[in-house]
């Protein structure tokens, strides 16, 4: 028999993956189940709630190995293949274990020419890992992201699918990493519109935790 | 006088200068939700659509399709067939960042617009599809939405009338393709977001097969303004064939990037001046007027060009999302195109072969040129590849990938030729 038949080139999703979670861990709590019921009620069929439930599962388990996808499928009474298909389609659903903090550095073209790759290179050096990898201590995963929709505040990054950090400089990155080390939650930053600065003298939100302004973007040294 | 008229004295309407406008009570104190009350009490649904038609509003999500016309495509109401609206807040076009700011600073304008659109088309519910990266803004919107429900402005029997409509948040998870309308519907249905073949158009068969309309955030936010000030007022703002206020997202090598609200039909040179001019007094080299997928313009092509569908079409580009990227004279256009091609390669959903394979080949070829190992013939091969991709796929992603490649090579051919090894073979173009 040809070698590739015995040893499939592609790892199939069902080929007995090593489970990351035990049977006891693989349950939703009653509160989570109530949430799932709410999600399902918002759609004509349970299918619509798949993405919400996958988000819920990812928050709970940190990532989505096959057994978690199976749990989601059972919970929604959907075929495993459909949940697997959805989970593998979207980049924000993590299929393998990531660090505690996932740093998504935007390098799409506005950021590319305003220092996105410099930010990425600085983080690579600082954390000692290449893009796409996790530090050996398991704290940080460094990733190159496609446009995150904050082009006016380049270079920027997103931390663990949550808050955005804008107008990054080496000093700002150091401060951010120090805050993460100290376990402080990163604030939601509100970016002031230039016209608001002129007409209202600053940010329009008085309840904003942190405020940032649009600034002159830096000169990019690297573009890849 | 430009098409934008007296833009120096323009007063903002999408993001009016009011502190804490994102709070429901502040928004209502400014006359918010009054347009909705007027519409529910005194107007017939078809009158709303007629008013939007009169305003000349065009979609702000990229394609620029007339909104009133889109609304009128909905089939006649049948009692047992639910009808849906999808609000497209999956803003992931590179260079575009306006919807996020609108959702942060004026979410109630969006909610009011959704409810007015819902009344105009007699809809049951609206799915607000926000991209997964905007999780902070989803929380913000959810908070405000619960206040809207508490104030009986959404849900059943809105403002004491017999009209009921729900607004339901849906969180995406990072796929550019979900910005395409049919793909967004597939994603909502809990499937892989593969675009559908049109026809049937969403108005005939949308989410779960029911009649559906899909509009961009900024488009829906214009609806309360049209009702409040009248379609004729709206039609008188900015360029005649593409009227209304627009959020220009200016980024790149300018002194003061950011989101600016001005009428359509602004001179590009005026907008550059508003954004503080080029950084370090450099010269402008290239401009992307509306997100990654529109053709790039050379600096010598923008004289007298205004930001509206007509003028940009004449100049050889498109309005897109009005996310403008200014690039200075030091910019390496080969590296630029390499990153654009990489983006489309990453974001191609993989359904159609010309796009799935073509975007990959594009990236490989441009990478080879960028690495200094390309041949002159590769440029011809790239243009040929564009021909093979355009119009041969289910959705427009392949076209969106091919346009910037074709036009960047055409308009900056010198930059590319200098990076290629000379060729002993004949070169066609």
- How many CB atoms are closer than 10 A to CB A177? 17
Structural class in CATH, domain B245-328: alpha beta
Q: If you average pLDDT over residues A17-33, what whole number do you get? A: 91
Task: Annotate B361-400 with b (16+ C-beta within 10 A) or e (fewer).
Answer: bbbebbbbbbeeebbbbbbbebbebbeebbeebbbbbbbb
Partner residue opposite B132 with nearest CB, options A92, A109, A195: A92
B7-11+18-235 and B333-419 have identical folds: no
* ipTM of the complex as predicted: 0.94
Domain ranges of chain B: 7-11+18-235, 245-328, 333-419
Band of pLDDT at residue A16, cut at 50, 70 and 90: low
pLDDT at A11: 63
Q: If you average pLDDT over residues B203-207, what whole number do you get? A: 94
Partner residue opposite A109 with nearest CB, options B131, B250, B325: B325
Of residues B427 and B5, the one with the higher pLDDT is B5
Q: Does A156 touch chain B (CB under 8 A)?
A: no
pLDDT at B347: 95
Band of pLDDT at residue B5, cut at 50, 70 and 90: confident
A212 and A167 Cβ atoms separated by less than 8 Å: yes
Cα separation of A55 and A52, whole Å?
5
Domain ranges of chain A: 21-89, 101-213
User: Domain A101-213, what fold?
Assistant: Glutaredoxin (3.40.30)
CATH label, A21-89, candidates 3.40.50, 1.10.10, 1.10.510, 3.30.200 = 1.10.10
**Above 60 in pLDDT, residue B173?**
yes
**Above 70 in pLDDT, residue B428?**
no
Q: If you average pLDDT over residues B152-174, what whole number do you get? A: 94
pLDDT at B2: 81
Task: Annotate B407-417 with b (16+ C-beta within 10 A) or e (fewer).
Answer: bbbbbbeebbb
Chain A nearest-CA distance from B42, in A, is 30
Cβ neighbours of B12 in A, within 8 Å: 195
DSSP classification of residue A191: E
Q: What is the DSSP string of A63-78?
A: S--HHHHHHHHHHHT-
Residue B302: phi, psi to the nearest 5?
Answer: -100, 0
Q: Does A194 touch chain B (CB under 8 A)?
A: yes
Q: Average pLDDT of chain A? A: 91
Asked if the Cβ–Cβ distance from A86 to B192 is below 8 Å, we say yes
**Above 60 in pLDDT, residue A42?**
yes
Partner residue opposite A148 with nearest CB, options B133, B175, B191: B133
Q: Average pLDDT of chain B? A: 94
CATH (residue range B7-11+18-235): 3.40.50.11540
CATH (residue range B333-419): 1.20.1440.230
Question: From B293, which residue of chain A is nearest by alpha-carbon distance?
Answer: A109
pLDDT at B242: 92
From residue B139, how far is each of A93, A151, B104, B146, B384 by CA, in Å?
19, 22, 10, 11, 46
Cα separation of A202 and A190, whole Å?
11
B115-143 confidence digits (pLDDT tens): 999 999 999 899 999 999 999 999 999 99
**Above 70 in pLDDT, residue A5?**
no
Band of pLDDT at residue A14, cut at 50, 70 and 90: low
Partner residue opposite A47 with nearest CB, options B132, B190, B343: B190
Asked if the Cβ–Cβ distance from A205 to B347 is below 8 Å, we say no
B47-99 confidence digits (pLDDT tens): 999 999 999 999 998 888 999 999 999 999 998 999 999 999 999 999 999 99
Question: From A104, which residue of chain B is nearest by alpha-carbon distance?
Answer: B133
């Amino acid at each position: 028999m040809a070698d590739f038949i015995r040893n499939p080139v592609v790892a199939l999703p069902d080929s007995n993956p090593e489970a990351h979670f035990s049977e006891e861990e693989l349950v939703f709590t009653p509160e989570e189940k109530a949430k799932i019921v709410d999600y399902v009620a918002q759609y004509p069929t349970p299918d619509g709630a798949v993405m919400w439930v996958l988000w819920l599962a990812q928050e709970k388990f940190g990532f989505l190995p096959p057994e978690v996808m199976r749990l989601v499928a059972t919970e929604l009474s959907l075929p495993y293949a459909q949940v697997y298909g959805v989970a593998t389609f979207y980049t924000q659903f993590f299929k393998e274990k990531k660090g505690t903090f996932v740093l998504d550095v935007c390098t799409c073209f506005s950021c590319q020419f305003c220092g996105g790759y410099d930010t990425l290179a600085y983080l690579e050096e600082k954390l000692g890992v290449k893009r796409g990898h996790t530090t050996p201590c398991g704290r940080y995963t460094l990733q190159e992201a496609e446009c995150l929709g904050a082009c006016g505040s380049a270079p920027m990054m997103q931390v663990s699918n949550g808050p955005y950090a804008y107008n990054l400089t080496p000093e700002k990155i150091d401060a951010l990493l120090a805050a993460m080390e100290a376990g402080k939650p990163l604030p939601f930053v509100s970016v002031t519109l230039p016209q608001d600065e002129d007409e209202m003298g600053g940010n329009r939100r008085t309840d904003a935790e942190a405020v940032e302004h649009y600034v002159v973007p830096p000169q990019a040294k690297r573009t890849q | 006088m430009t098409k934008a008229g007296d833009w120096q004295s323009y007063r903002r309407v999408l993001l009016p200068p009011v502190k804490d406008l994102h709070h429901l009570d502040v928004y209502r104190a400014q006359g918010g939700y009054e347009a909705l009350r007027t519409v529910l009490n005194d107007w017939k649904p078809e009158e709303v659509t007629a008013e939007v038609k009169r305003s000349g509003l065009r979609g702000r999500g990229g394609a620029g399709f007339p909104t009133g016309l889109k609304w009128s495509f909905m089939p006649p109401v049948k009692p047992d067939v639910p009808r849906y609206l999808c609000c497209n807040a999956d803003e992931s076009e590179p260079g575009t960042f306006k919807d996020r700011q609108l959702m942060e600073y004026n979410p109630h304008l969006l909610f009011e617009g959704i409810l007015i659109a819902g009344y105009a088309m007699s809809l049951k519910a609206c799915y607000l599809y926000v991209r997964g990266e905007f999780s902070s803004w989803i929380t913000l919107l959810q908070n405000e939405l619960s206040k809207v429900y508490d104030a009986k402005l959404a849900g059943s029997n809105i403002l004491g009338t017999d009209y009921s409509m729900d607004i339901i948040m849906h969180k995406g998870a990072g796929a550019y393709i979900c910005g395409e309308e049919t793909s967004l519907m597939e994603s909502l249905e809990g499937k892989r977001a593969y675009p559908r073949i049109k026809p049937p158009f969403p108005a005939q068969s949308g989410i779960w097969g029911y009649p559906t309309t899909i509009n961009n955030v900024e488009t829906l936010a214009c609806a309360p303004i049209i009702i409040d000030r009248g379609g004729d007022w709206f039609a008188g703002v900015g360029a005649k064939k593409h009227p209304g206020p627009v959020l220009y997202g200016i980024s790149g090598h300018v002194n003061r990037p950011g989101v600016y609200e001005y009428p359509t039909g602004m001179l590009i040179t005026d907008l550059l001046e508003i954004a503080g001019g080029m950084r370090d007094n450099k010269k402008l080299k290239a401009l992307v007027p509306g997100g990654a997928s529109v053709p790039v313009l050379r600096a010598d092509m923008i004289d007298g060009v205004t930001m509206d569908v007509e003028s940009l079409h004449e100049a050889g580009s498109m309005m897109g999302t009005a996310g403008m990227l200014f690039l200075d004279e030091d910019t390496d256009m080969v590296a630029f195109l390499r990153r654009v091609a990489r983006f489309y390669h990453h974001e191609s959903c993989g359904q159609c072969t010309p796009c799935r394979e073509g975007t990959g080949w594009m990236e490989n070829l441009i990478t080879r040129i960028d690495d200094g190992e390309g041949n002159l013939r590769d440029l011809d091969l790239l243009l040929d590849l564009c021909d093979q991709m355009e119009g041969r796929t289910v959705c427009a992603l392949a076209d969106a990938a091919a346009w910037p490649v074709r036009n960047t090579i055409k308009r900056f051919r010198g930059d590319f030729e200098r990076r290629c090894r000379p060729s002993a073979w004949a070169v066609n173009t």
